[in-house]
Amino acid sequence: MFERFSQIRKERHDYARAWKERTGGKVLGYFCTYVPEEILYAADVLPVRILGSHEPQDVTEPHIFGMFCPFCRDCLAQGLKGRFEYLDGLMIAQSCLHIRQAYTSWEKHRPVEFSHYLCMPHKVKSPRARTFLTGELETFKTAVEKWTGIEITDERLHEGIAVMNKSRDLMHRLYDARRSDPPRLTGTEALEVVLANQMADKREHSELLEATLERLPDREVPERASGTRLLMVGSEDDDMAFFEMVERVGGTIVTDDHCTGTRYFWNKVETNGEPLLRAIANRYCDRPPCPTKDWEARDRIEHVLKLGRDWDCKGAIVIQQKFCDPHELDIPATKKALEDAGFPVLILEFDVTVPVGQFQIRVEAFLEMLGADDLF
């Protein structure tokens, strides 16, 4: 059922090249999920999330500090090696210092015909954030119109919003299927779908996902017990080998809070009669925040706790990309809140390549502590 999603993830570059050849459209690579894809779809541009390869590399040291997070160094390496040579555009929304440096170095050493830095406000709870972001979206819209030669009318914006909102609705339905015991799909399968969602044309992805959701209720769930229900929290995580290991040794990842998971698709654009760019700005200010944006109310922690309760999780694995300052600052408060709410926590620090064998020992011990009865 999930083979096509896996194929898109594994062959992401071939997919984008084929889309470009088939449609004649432009492809834009983006670094952060605060990028407003609604505007890009309104201009017939394919947004493609830039992710790493989890391979050792030796090309970024002259361009980016070795003490910057491995994720940003891995992403930059893919650009410097020419693996995204098909990109027509490149952009970032205001994010952490590390990924901003990856964008700046890429733009300098692998220039493309269009690049844009979107000044997404860090303090999204400020009363001025939405008005400020609306102005930045207007600037971005004008830049995209000039680049593509396409006028982004309100009709086109409505279409872009509809494409994104439909995708988000379908992703919620997929994650809801993981509430049952046993879940109708594994955490690894869900990760395949959400990663493909950040690489494929949303219209094609939604067709595939609708067909999958229709078949899901009749799917034969493996006889294997569902395993210990786990919540995954923290930094960007697209490491399939890690997810597969956790579920192989007796865990089941039933939901998550990270930017390659629920944070990407959680809420929709609600127009409510507002000007469309303002409605889009509201969506990105209201979404479950990245730790770089969660000041000062710290709303994210209550959202994480609600995920744990609603998906009946028995424990949480908190992950941090090595040297990730925003998450490193966020982890103590998140860990305390989870444990106070009755969710035991295992903290793991990720690098470009994950030491799956070492992590397996720690995960097995954690599951045993939680009372897992199907470790092997």
Domains in the chain, ordered, with CATH? Answer: 3-152 (3.40.50.11890)
Q: Average the pLDDT over 300-319 and give the result.
A: 96
pLDDT attached to residue 349: 92
pLDDT band at 66 (very low <50, low <70, confident <90, very high): confident
Express each pLDDT in 238-288 by its tens digit. Answer: 989 999 999 999 999 999 999 899 999 999 999 999 999 999 999 999 999
Q: Which H helix or E strand runs over 256?
A: strand 251-257
Mean pLDDT, the chain, as a whole number? 93
- Quick check: 91 and 30 in contact, CB under 8 A? yes
- β 26-30/251-257 pair status: unpaired
C-beta separation of 154 from 170 below 8 A:
no
What pLDDT sits at residue 220?
A: 82
Which three-class secondary structure string do you get for 91-128? Answer: EEECCCHHHHHHHHHHHHHCCCCEEEEECCCCCCCCCC
Hey, what are 202's tokens?
């949303």
130-154 pLDDT, tens digit per residue, is 999 999 999 999 999 999 999 999 9
Q: Is 61 exposed, middle or buried (0-12, 13-18, 19+ CB in 10 A)?
A: exposed
Mean pLDDT of 289-318: 92
> DSSP letters along 212-228, please?
HHHHGGGPPPPSS---E
Quote the DSSP letter at residue 57: -
Q: Record the tokens describing residue 216, joined without a space.
A: 């899901």
Confidence of residue 298 (pLDDT cuts 50, 70, 90): confident
* pLDDT band at residue 65 using 50, 70 and 90 as cut-offs: confident
Pairing mode of beta strands 89-93, 114-118: parallel
Instruction: Return the pLDDT at 26.
Output: 98
């995580």: which residue's tokens?
Answer: 237
pLDDT given for residue 374 in this prediction: 46
Averaged pLDDT, 97-122? 95
* Per-residue pLDDT, 223: 56
Q: Has this prediction a pTM greater than 0.85?
A: yes
* pLDDT (0 to 100) of residue 58: 87
* Residue 321 structure tokens: 């990309």
241: Cβ contacts below 8 Å, ≥ 6 apart: 54, 354, 356
Residue 335 region, left (φ>0) first, then alpha (ψ -120 to 50), else beta? alpha
User: What pLDDT is stored for residue 222 in this prediction?
Assistant: 63
Give CA angle at 264 (263, 270), nearest 5°: 95
pLDDT of residue 297: 76
- As a whole number of Å, the CA-based R_g of the chain is 20
d(CA 25, CA 123): 35
> What is residue 224's predicted lDDT score, i.e. its pLDDT?
56
| Average pLDDT score over residue span 176-185 | 92
Q: Reply yes or no on whether the pLDDT at 376 is more than 50.
A: no
What's the pLDDT band for 179 if we cut at 50, 70, 90? Answer: very high
Backbone torsions φ then ψ of 348, nearest 5 degrees:
-130, 140
Per the DSSP assignment, residues forming a β-bridge with 93 are: 118
Lowest average pLDDT, out of 51-60, 73-82, 217-226, 348-357, goes to 217-226
Classify the C-alpha dihedral 109-113-117-118 as positive or negative.
negative
Burial of 217 (0-12, 13-18, 19+ CB in 10 A): exposed
8 A C-beta contact, residue 228 and residue 37: no
Percent of the chain at pLDDT exceeding 70: 97
Contacts for 326-333: CB closer than 8 Å, 24+ residues apart: 326/96, 326/290, 326/291, 326/292, 327/234, 327/235, 327/291, 329/291, 330/291, 330/294, 330/300, 331/234, 333/298, 333/301
| CA 237/CA 364 separation, integer angstroms | 20
